[in-house]
Copies of this chain bind each other. A is one copy, B any other.
């Protein structure tokens, strides 16, 4: 896998988006989000996604300039119609409003529909917490997860991120999907020709399978069995009820290049969290005696952050096909023709 200097990856990806019609400032935001995921070791939410966005732009499914239509519902609840804008562009514009409103009101909420894939939620939550506020971020997705006790995918992977300032240099940030694994991980197993662990997935008929190719046409299990299903379903309903987003198998457009994107995003920002005692508590956890088979007890988010710090210096691994495609979109003849024709 090529190791690409962080600055080269950034410039090349930005250039590819600009050639596809994205204003440079919006390309910069979108690439920063993706690259942050690659740097943290979450390539499923990284530059891998660039090509699909370029296809969606070419298909006229995306307005790369808009930051959406914002409307206050009460003084602390911002509803946003993303108008097919870029996920992080629409979200950042909303966050500028709700983080300011939370400073006055104590809490404020943004609920967004009709924008592109939100990307890795930790990117948003961490930034809010670095500015001294607490954040809860939810997003929905295509139905890829089966209900507990069900056979077919009916619920999104519906991740949650929570960030809390701790008085330490870095905030606490957790970010997890409510699926057992990501569909990207299923694809990785398929590409490597490995069997899945049991209980990860069902095939197209709804029967358990360890064949990753069968799982691709089937459904992923919810994490934590019935409880994780309950959480994922709760997030699906809550995000739809607050944002007006689609539900279940009606959700499209984060993975394909055919449909408008109709999932939803929710940001809850809370002002003035009290950091007393948080660092001491986290330090007790970090230094706790590990169970056998574990090197140490981890605080969520810290491994990815350490990896990011390292890879900003050493370069970021990007899958060969992904990196070649981005280079082509940035510099190749075909894209140039498309832009200049």
A164 to B281 CA separation, bound complex (whole angstroms): 33
**B107–A268 contact, CB under 8 A?**
yes
A60 to B87 CA separation, bound complex (whole angstroms): 54
Chain copies in complex? 2
Q: Which of A103, A228, A281 has the most CB of B within 10 A?
A: A281
Q: Closest Cβ of chain B: how far from A214's Cβ, in Å?
A: 15
Contact bitstring A204-235, B, C-beta under 8 A = 1, else 0? 00110000000000000001111111110111
**B231–A160 contact, CB under 8 A?**
yes
State the interface size on chain A (CB cutoff 8 A).
83
A207 to B172 CA separation, bound complex (whole angstroms): 28
Question: What would be 20 A-B contacts, judged by CB atoms less than 8 Å apart?
Answer: A72-B106, A73-B106, A73-B272, A74-B271, A134-B241, A147-B285, A147-B298, A148-B298, A162-B231, A164-B238, A174-B233, A226-B300, A231-B231, A233-B300, A236-B281, A237-B278, A237-B281, A242-B270, A246-B277, A248-B285
Residues on A facing B (Cβ under 8 Å): 72-77, 102-109, 134, 136, 146-152, 154, 160, 162, 164-166, 172, 174, 176, 202, 206-207, 223-231, 233-238, 240-242, 244, 246-248, 250, 268, 270-278, 281-282, 284-285, 288-292, 294, 296-300
